[in-house]
Structure 1
């Protein structure tokens, strides 16, 4: 990570915080983009850009431009921004499908589209997306979420093919991430089986590193012990 500039979307979330902090501790400079409102704060090593709706292409382009201007380059984009909703098809609403599509797929698409010119100018441009093991086969109530994350998988593959030799594009596919929110939602679950944010971060940062220069178009399950 030494000397690399990372953009991390969803940087104020449980996973985003760990990715940003770990990368920075290993010598990276980090631009954190998040939907949560906040003023732009900047140091030579870190810039926080809040209040950004990445499902809107113009906002994504502006936020990425701010980060690129601050650091003078962008080497890595980690698309973590997203969310979850469970709803059966029969009892649900099309709005949930639209919301999941915007939250999980459009955020990754718009951030990638905005970052690609900068990443292509890097000697080691990388995109790492967050897919989902649950999108490989949708269970009951998982339709809207699984469909949106399956879209992220296909986006990853398409970008990897289109930018081969210029930018590597991969995705990690977690099972259930061990976060406070997930523990509160599933208090009777065996938390020891879940993948931790730090475990997931290690795979993300490997894919962002020079060591992963030969890996592109991969969908890598990181399921913990589920």
Structure 2
């Protein structure tokens, strides 16, 4: 354990599972106090010393505002906002309804805007604060059936740059992380649902030059750096964390 975030107070949306859990764990290890903000209660194991849970439906602007105020009241301020929570489904433009599109944008793009807006007055008071948005390599390219998801994550990348430009002079930095394939309960269910899951696992592994798939803590460690003063001259950037996947050109051979 080190102390890069000692004395810092952070909100992590969706911090109770998957990538969010990896970020929460790393923040706690680095000394931060963390508020997990999401709709469903996290596992009891996540609620260790220095971690609280604040319930909020991130499709509700009222609940978002209330959650931020609750965190500030209970923990005494706010230094770091991590916009991590999101949803994903697979539908082409032909298959997607207007309601599907709106749902994706509300959770993946509008909620980070509303959270940032609600957090801004509190971050501004600190003199030095950090916003970390979780984008995706699908904000840079796309898998089949992901037009809404890719659009939402590309939007997060653009939003990140704009916030950095507008609020840097106030001591508020804003950066994004674009993860690739990260192991989670949901990714395991997704692979297991396929007809030849063993082949899928082998081919997925072969796509990554580092020879392994990502773990939530891989994203969490970068989030720690972006939230800490070690990255004080870094803002408006999108950091790809994908084990080299997007740099490997495919060849038509095995």
Secondary structure at 1:165's aligned position in 2? helix
TM-score by length of 1: 0.92
Q: Distance in 2 between matches of 1:18 and 1:196?
A: 8
Of residues 48, 54, 57 in structure 2, which corresponds to 1:49? 54
The alignment of Structure 1 onto Structure 2 pairs a total of residues equal to 222
Of residues 176, 182, 186 in structure 2, which corresponds to 1:181? 186
Q: 2:249: which partner in 1?
A: none
Ranges in structure 2 where 5+ consecutive residues have no aligned partner:
192-196, 206-210, 246-254
Residue 209 of structure 1, CA deviation: 0.3
Q: Distance in 1 between matches of 2:74 and 2:49?
A: 8
Residue 161 of structure 1, CA deviation: 0.8
Of residues 117, 122, 126 in structure 1, which corresponds to 2:126? 122
Deviation per CA, 1:105-157, whole angstroms, max 9, x where unpaired?
11211111110111111132100000111121334311010111111111111
Q: Distance in 1 between matches of 2:183 and 2:173?
A: 28
Q: Which has the higher contact order (CA 8 A, sep 6+)?
A: 2
Contact 1:193–1:225 under 8 Å retained in 2: no
Residue 44 of structure 1, CA deviation: 7.4
The alignment status of 1:169 with 2:174, answered yes or no, reads: yes
Structure with greater Cα Rg: 2
Q: Distance in 2 between matches of 1:210 and 1:140?
A: 39
Contact 2:41–2:53 under 8 Å retained in 1: no
Q: Distance in 1 between matches of 2:187 and 2:149?
A: 15
TM-score by length of 2: 0.82
Q: 1:214: which partner in 2?
A: 233
Contact 1:194–1:225 under 8 Å retained in 2: no
Q: Distance in 1 between matches of 2:8 and 2:224?
A: 11
Q: Distance in 2 between matches of 1:122 and 1:142?
A: 38
Q: Distance in 1 between matches of 2:50 and 2:188?
A: 33
Deviation per CA, 1:63-118, whole angstroms, max 9, x where unpaired?
00000011211000011111111111122222221111011111211111110111
Q: Distance in 2 between matches of 1:43 and 1:17?
A: 12
Q: 1:106: which partner in 2?
A: 110
Residue 5 of structure 1, CA deviation: 0.6
